[in-house]
Amino acid sequence: MADRDGSTCTDKRGDTYHVAVATEADTWALADMYDRFVPKAITQGLPPADDKARLQWINDLLHNGINFIAWQDENAVGHASLILDSERNDGEYLIFVNEKLRNRGLGTELTRFALQRGGEIGLAAIWLTVEALNFRAIKLYRKMGFSFCDAGERERTMILRL
């Protein structure tokens, strides 16, 4: 991890993380994180299970959006992305946190950081899709101000107007 601006946060257990904007130089740190990520391809096929497809997906995210990494020491342990749509002036939000570090506040910090950046660049809204039974994620998104904008059975769309 190169020195960079961002924010340092402490999780519910007292462990410290650094959240920062990701760059192309972070490709291999993200690849390493997703190589170890469990489970793969569980939601909308993400992260891709195939090694080549996963690396292409990471590269696409880094080229087509604003990305954020949570670092623990030299390891990427969380990743969030805002995929921008300039015509609609909004962004789709994705987030992945190491399964051993979930429910400790790291997802909240990544989301807070991403929403702040979305506001700074003037996005009108940020939206996401979430599995209807992923209550932990839904709780996080509601806490951050997202609300449902559809009634899907398997996946739901949530939006936050900035």
Residue 78 resides in a domain:
yes
User: Beta strands 125-131 and 90-97: pairing type?
Assistant: parallel
Q: Is the pLDDT of residue 159 over 70?
A: yes
Using an 8 Å Cβ cutoff, are 143 and 107 in contact?
A: no
Residue 143 falls inside a structural domain: no
The whole domain housing 56 covers 7-123
Those residues whose C-beta lies under 8 Å from the C-beta of residue 86, and which sit 6 or more positions away, are none
Q: Do the domain assignments include residue 144?
A: no
**Residues 10-16, mean pLDDT to the nearest whole number:** 92
Q: pLDDT tens digit string along 21-77? A: 999 999 999 999 999 988 777 777 889 999 999 999 999 999 999 999 999 999 999
Query: Distance of CA 57 to CAs 61, 63, 64, Å?
Result: 6, 10, 10
Is 136 within the bounds of a domain? Answer: no
The CATH number of the domain holding residue 103 is 3.40.630.30
Report the candidate in 66, 67, 58, 68 with the shortest Cα–Cα distance to residue 109: 68
- pLDDT category of residue 4 using cuts at 50, 70 and 90: low
What pTM was estimated for this model as a whole?
Answer: 0.92
120: helix, coil or strand?
A: helix
Could you read off the pLDDT of 75-86 as tens digits, one per residue? 999 999 999 999
Number of domains comprising the chain: 1
Percent of the chain residues past pLDDT 70, beyond the cut: 98
